[in-house]
Amino acid sequence: MSSSPAESALDAFLASVEARAYRSALLTTKKSADALDIVQEAMLHLVQSYRAR
């Protein structure tokens, strides 16, 4: 299945901020697993909100 231009743009955006988001979360939590959970939840929430439009 082919993704729409909006989905491709969202995927590109998430890929571009993933590392920075993880580093910020890791600096805050000091725990890798917690940082990964935070980033995953935040990105999931963003995708769900964006696609609901």
Q: Read off the pLDDT of residues 19-53 as tens digits, 9 standing for 90 and up.
A: 999 999 999 999 999 999 999 999 999 999 988 77
What was the pLDDT predicted at 1? Answer: 54
Q: Cα separation of 7 and 5, whole Å?
A: 5
The answer to whether 21 and 40 are in contact (CB under 8 A) is no
* Residue pair 37/16 in contact by the 8 Å Cβ criterion: no
